[in-house]
């Protein structure tokens, strides 16, 4: 079992400085939200972000999501080598890279230093590096947590076939995320003990979660991920699309059946496990915020409540 890799102790400062420099140089193009609205569904708060300028974001040339270890040839890989001005730091076997088109400031990625497919399960060394990022950030950051997510498969909202896990800071004002203890039921619902898999009872779509014990090592991180992936595959079959959301306290996986939940033009990825939903079009913003359409879309992206296993 691999050990947690050593990351720069001043990771939040490195990310902030790299982001500021890339923004000033035009290497990062920040898309500010024209509006935000907190929408409550079954006592879970989803923050909808209206970002109409995303409609003008360059669309990547379609690439094949292959389980092969060979790199796709459809277009240049933006992660290999990292684009100029986006590299934050390199550690053995991985690069930390800024997201070129962020919606949330200081959105960055952990990418494998050589091509590995996004559709293959995360390896123990990948999970060790992911948790090391979370742990290193929160050991020195004041007031901001870090959220990580992984999109795997064509129905997950994944856009690049090169393996990468994404991160963004969660400011204190954001409040509790769906799987935080006080948001998910401190009353002690069945199966919610540390290290045990459970399913959030108030989400529109099936998600499996494990909360880490206080003392977390690489074996606990790997076992939790592998347990939840098995649950997803039991629900949707081996090789299914899924999203992973991860913080220092918990990990959650959601099997996916649709990228848009039945509303063409909407894209939902792993940010949804942090209660974040991005909206590009006026008609979708009105549909979500004024007509209560978000719940139906969220039911459409995965397995609905009455079909849970």
Smallest CA-to-CA distance from 211 within 248, 242, 254 is with 248
CA distances from residue 11 to 108, 254, 268, 274, 291 in whole angstroms, order as listed: 11, 29, 28, 22, 42
Give the structural domain span for 132.
11-58+78-307
- As a whole number of angstroms, the distance between CA 133 and CA 116 comes to 19
One digit per residue, the tens of pLDDT, for the chain of length 309 reads: 899 999 999 999 999 999 999 999 999 999 888 899 999 999 999 999 999 877 766 655 444 444 444 554 556 899 999 988 999 999 999 999 999 999 999 999 999 999 999 999 999 999 999 999 999 999 998 778 999 999 999 999 998 999 999 999 998 888 899 999 854 444 444 456 788 999 999 999 999 999 999 889 999 999 999 999 999 999 999 999 999 999 999 999 999 999 999 999 899 999 999 999 999 999 999 999 999 999 999 999 999 865 544
CA distances from residue 243 to 7, 158, 271 in whole angstroms, order as listed: 25, 9, 9
Please work out, in degrees rounded to the nearest 5, the angle formed at the alpha carbon of residue 218 by the alpha carbons of 216 and 223: 90
The number of beta carbons lying within 10 Å of the beta carbon of residue 8 is 15
Residue 90 in domain: yes
Confidence at residue 75, expressed as pLDDT on a 0 to 100 scale: 67
Confidence at residue 173, expressed as pLDDT on a 0 to 100 scale: 87
CATH code of 17's domain: 3.30.428.70
Residue 69 in domain: no
CA distances from residue 15 to 83, 137, 207, 219 in whole angstroms, order as listed: 16, 10, 30, 28
Confidence at residue 257, expressed as pLDDT on a 0 to 100 scale: 97
Residue 2 in domain: no
When divided into structural domains, the chain yields a total of 1
Residue 3 in domain: no
Confidence at residue 143, expressed as pLDDT on a 0 to 100 scale: 77
Confidence at residue 141, expressed as pLDDT on a 0 to 100 scale: 82
Confidence at residue 63, expressed as pLDDT on a 0 to 100 scale: 46
Smallest CA-to-CA distance from 138 within 248, 216, 245 is with 248
Which pair of structure tokens corresponds to residue 202? 């108030």
Smallest CA-to-CA distance from 281 within 260, 302, 296 is with 260
Residue 72 in domain: no
Residue 213 in domain: yes
**Can you spell out the DSSP letters for the chain?**
-PPPPP--TTHHHHHHHHHHHHHHHTSS-----SEEEEEEETTEEEEEEE-GGGGGSPPPPP----SSSSPP-SS--TBTTBPTTTEEEEETTEEEEE-SS-SSTT-EEEEESS--BTTSPPPHHHHHHHHHHHHHHHHH-SSEEEEEEEEESTTTT---SB-EEEEEEEEGGG---TTSHHHH-TTT-TT-STT--EE-TT-SB--EEEEPPSS--HHHHHHHHHHHHHHHHHHH-TT--EEEEE-SSEEEEEE-S-SSTTSTT----GGGGGTEEEE-SHHHHHHHHTS--HHHHHHHHS-BGGG--
- As a whole number of angstroms, the distance between CA 60 and CA 260 comes to 18
Residue 296 in domain: yes
Residue 177 in domain: yes
């Amino acid at each position: 079992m691999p050990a947690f890799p050593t990351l720069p102790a001043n990771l939040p400062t490195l990310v902030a400085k790299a982001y500021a420099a890339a923004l000033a140089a035009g290497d990062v193009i920040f898309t500010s939200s024209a509006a935000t609205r907190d929408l409550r569904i079954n006592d879970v708060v989803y923050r909808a972000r209206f970002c109409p300028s995303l409609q003008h974001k360059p669309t990547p040339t379609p690439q094949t999501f292959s389980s092969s270890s060979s790199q796709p040839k459809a277009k240049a890989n933006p992660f290999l080598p990292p684009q100029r001005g986006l590299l934050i730091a390199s550690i053995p076997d991985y690069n930390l890279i800024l997201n070129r088109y962020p919606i949330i400031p200081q959105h960055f990625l952990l990418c494998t230093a050589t091509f590995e497919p996004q559709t293959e399960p995360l390896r123990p060394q990948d999970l060790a590096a992911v948790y090391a990022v979370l742990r290193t950030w929160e050991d020195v950051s004041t007031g901001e947590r870090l959220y990580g997510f992984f999109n795997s498969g064509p129905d997950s909202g994944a856009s690049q076939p090169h393996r990468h896990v994404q991160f963004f800071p969660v400011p204190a004002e954001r409040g509790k995320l769906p799987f935080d203890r006080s948001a998910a039921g401190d009353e002690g619902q069945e199966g919610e003990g540390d290290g045990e898999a459970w399913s959030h009872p108030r989400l529109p779509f099936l998600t499996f979660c494990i909360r880490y014990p206080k003392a977390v090592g690489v074996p606990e991180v790997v076992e939790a991920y592998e347990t939840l992936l098995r649950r997803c595959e039991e629900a949707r079959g081996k090789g299914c699309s899924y999203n992973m959301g991860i913080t220092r306290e918990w990990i959650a996986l959601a099997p996916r059946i649709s990228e848009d939940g039945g509303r063409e033009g909407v894209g939902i990825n792993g940010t949804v496990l942090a209660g974040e939903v991005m909206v590009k079009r006026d008609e979708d913003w009105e549909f979500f915020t004024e007509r209560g359409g978000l719940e139906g879309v969220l039911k459409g992206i995965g397995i609905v409540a009455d079909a849970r296993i």
